[in-house]
Structure formats: C-alpha cells, structure tokens
Amino acid sequence: MNLKNSSRSVFPIPNLKSLYISRTGLYSLDFLIHANLTKLEFLQARQNLYSVIRKEDIKSLPALTYLDLQGNGFTCNCDNSWFLSWAINDSKTQVYDAYNFTCNYPQEFKSKKLLDFNTRFCSVDMGFICFLCTTCAILCLMVVSFTYHFMRLHLVYAYYLFIAWFFDKKHKNKKTPHQYDAFISYNTHDEPWVIDKLLPKLEGEQGWRLCLHHRDFEPGKLIIDNITDAIYGSRKTICVISHKYLESEWCSREIQAASFRLFDEQKDVLILVFLDDIPSYLLSPYHRMRKMLKKKTYLSWPRAAKNTELFWEKLRQALETTNTNNLQ
C-alpha cells in the first residue's frame, strides 16, 4: 500500500505486508496502533517530521522486518532512548541506514549522529536506587539512635540555649523598667513550697514585689514572651531548683534566659535556691549552671533545715544586693 504524498488515515488492514508513507508530513507513527497491521513486514516512512519513535508504535507491528526512516529530523534526548537501543540490538528488524540518522533537536546536537547520543543516563536502575535509599535510611536510623542514646540531654540543653540566646538578643537593647524585685522560676510540683513558705517570707514579711507564673503572666501572650518579659522586668531571678525543675522544659528555658542575662550584662541578677540535694552529674547538661555554682554561693533548703532563719536572711541579703559585677 502506497500513501506517498498522501495524508489519508490508514484503516485496519490486517493482511497488509508493505506500507509506504514517505513525504506525507506525518509527525508521529501513533496511527499504526489502531491500524491492526499484525502482518506488516515492510515500512518505508522517509522524509517526514518524526522526531520521536515510540515503543508502543513499533510494538504494534509484530511482524516488521524492515524499517526505513531516512530523512527525518530526530530529537536527541531520552525520549528516543528506547528506539536507539532497539535499532541497534533488535535482530529481527533491520532499520535501514540507522547509523546515518541525524539529530535535529536540541540545537547543540543538530546534525550529529542519532546513534552517537549517550543514553547511559536515561535508564533508571530501580534496584540500585532502592539499595541507596535503604542504606541511607539505615544510616540515618543508626545516627538518630546513637544521638538520642548518648547525646539527648546535651541536644536538649543546646536547644534551650539557643532559645534563651535568641530572646536575650531581642531584649538586650530594650530598657525594660523593673516592675518586680524578683521573678520566681519554679516547677509546678514545687508550688506548695513557693506559696506556703517563700511567698509569705519575701512578700509578706520582707515586702518584696515578686513575679509568679500563675499570678502575673499576661493571659493570651506566648509563654516564652511572658518568661523573658518577667526576667528582664525584674531586678533578679530566683530559680527554685529541684529534680522536677531540671526535668521541666519551660524551667530549663527560664534558667537559660536568666543565665544569658547574667553573663551578658555581667550583673548579679540570678539567685539559685536548691530544694533538693542534686548530684553534680545531673547538672552535666546545664554547663552554665555548673559554672555559676563554682563562682557563686547558692542557697540550699535541705541544709537549712536546722536554721531556716539564716536561710531567709541570706536570701534577703541576696535580693538587697545591687546588680554589680560579681563574676571574675
């Protein structure tokens, strides 16, 4: 069947063995899929406008033994990778003069030989990709597990340190008036001691103005903003430290923000009150606290059991102390 110089469609012709469709201006061979050319052996399609030869089009011609595509301008990219491999390796079908097929697109490959195009990077080795993904996932899991097991406390500390540093920079240049004498940083587990013992002494007997979470924080405001405003709005920060305090996320943020103010302003703005006898190894993630304990005196409630009046007197003196530089 000769369709030379014709643009007519090919109707299903199951017994057709030869087809000539040169110079027909066709852009694609996709019409072959519906033509039912199961016995077609010879196909000449010279000087048309084919740029990509699809696998589906060729596979629709199971009996094809000769293919002539001279004079077409092919696209040299991965869209033609299957056709290139098939033209070189298929032993059943002879692709006439395939080694002289030239590229028309893209511009940098124009007039170059189609079979010279490197298709090595066009095929995806799914097995290799799965191997890489699995290996990376296992390595990531190992790193995360190792980090969590051996460095969890240090990472938590570093996180709190960054948060405190960020909010310290935010308040550094703000001249916040001292609305309170002291901000009390404590864990809710220790609230009975704060309400029943600390508050009556400091506010009731000594007359200090104290800032407490449950009473003085602004409703609707971000917790971290309330914390930093309380720290910078008070002359001092009293940290009531216990085992529960060290386990608390927000308490850790409070002491980090207060310690940044201490080290940044070089002023005695932080008072440490220990409700529990805490071993030094539990303070290992809190490096700044350990440095402060070495350079500053601190108050211990358990050690003051026999002389509580001395404890309250020392706390009063610490609150009266002006914010001078006590760090060496």
Same domain, yes or no, for 34 and 163? no
* pLDDT tens figures, 196-237: 999 999 999 999 999 998 899 989 888 878 888 888 888 899
Mean pLDDT for the chain overall: 82
Domain membership flag for residue 46: yes
Least confident stretch, 121-130, 141-150, 271-280:
121-130
Same domain, yes or no, for 309 and 218? yes
pLDDT at 7 over 50: no
Domain membership flag for residue 132: no
Higher pLDDT, 169 or 134: 134
Number of domains in the chain: 2
- 77 lies in which domain range? 18-116
Least confident stretch, 168-172, 182-186, 214-218, 298-302:
168-172
Residue 210, H or E segment: strand 210-211
Least confident stretch, 26-35, 102-111, 261-270, 295-304:
261-270
pLDDT-derived band at 163, boundaries 50, 70, 90: low
Same domain, yes or no, for 85 and 163? no
User: Which of 58, 92, 116 is the endpoint of a domain?
Assistant: 116
Domain membership flag for residue 309: yes
Domain membership flag for residue 134: no
Same domain, yes or no, for 154 and 70? no
pLDDT at 1 over 90: no
Domain membership flag for residue 129: no
User: Which of 70, 93, 116 is the endpoint of a domain?
Assistant: 116
Prior bond to 62 cis, omega within 30? no
Domain membership flag for residue 56: yes
The pLDDT value recorded for residue 6 is 47
Q: Are 98 and 66 in contact (CB under 8 A)?
A: no
Same domain, yes or no, for 106 and 173? no
Residue 271 one-letter amino acid: I
Same domain, yes or no, for 171 and 276? yes
User: Which of 116, 140, 163 is the endpoint of a domain?
Assistant: 116
Q: Are 18 and 46 in contact (CB under 8 A)?
A: no
* CATH code for the domain of 218: 3.40.50.10140
pLDDT at 158 over 70: no
Domain membership flag for residue 139: no
User: pLDDT exceeding 90 applies to what percent of the chain?
Assistant: 41
d(CA 237, CA 240): 10
pLDDT at 272 over 90: no
pLDDT at 133 over 70: yes
Question: What length does the chain have?
Answer: 328
The pLDDT value recorded for residue 18 is 94
Domain membership flag for residue 326: no
* CATH code for the domain of 87: 3.80.10.10
Same domain, yes or no, for 101 and 196? no
The pLDDT value recorded for residue 327 is 32
pLDDT at 177 over 60: yes
Give me the helices (H) in the chain, please: 55-59, 81-89, 126-172, 191-193, 199, 213-216, 223-232, 243-247, 249-265, 287-295, 308-320
